[in-house]
Structure 1
Amino acid sequence: LHGAEHPFSCAECGRGLCDRAALAMHRRGHTGERPFACGECGKAFAGSAGLLVHQRSHSGERPFACSECGQRFRQSAHLAQHRQGAHS
């Protein structure tokens, strides 16, 4: 959020974050902690969102579809890149 308050500061680097959950996730970048592990292959992630995207590589799920050509993607960011490059 641009212009939002960031009252939670990282003791390691001083970066301000908007809530405790964001601070906890940020701190994992410093500690290397990866508490979210894939039940299928064991790969671990710092956040649950990373695990969710990874699990799509096993399931084949591609929930983000291009409205112009129908090509599907695992991540919304990849769909956005596609739209920018293929249809601009």
Structure 2
Amino acid sequence: MPINRKRGSAYYLGEVEELSCLGERSAQSGGYSPTEVNNIAIEQLKLEVVNRGGNGYWVKSCKDFTSDYQSCDVATVCKGKAYSY
């Protein structure tokens, strides 16, 4: 689905969702900051966009994530949309 732009069109490639899943850091390092965990999830989302042949993305949301089947001490899931320009 093209999006109107002055310099061309963007094509919607679909929804993307990626997870940052981090293990425990030593108490000496102070653990992970929420910004750091979000940034890792967004980087994973960017990689998924590139894997789909895209070169643009929009992050819709990032939220803390917990699950029994994931062995993560800290996790964030980010959802967004992938585009190709």
TM-score range, shorter chain: under 0.3
Please, what TM-score do these two structures have when normalized by structure 1? 0.23
Q: Give 1 or 2: higher helix fraction.
A: 1
Please, what TM-score do these two structures have when normalized by structure 2? 0.24
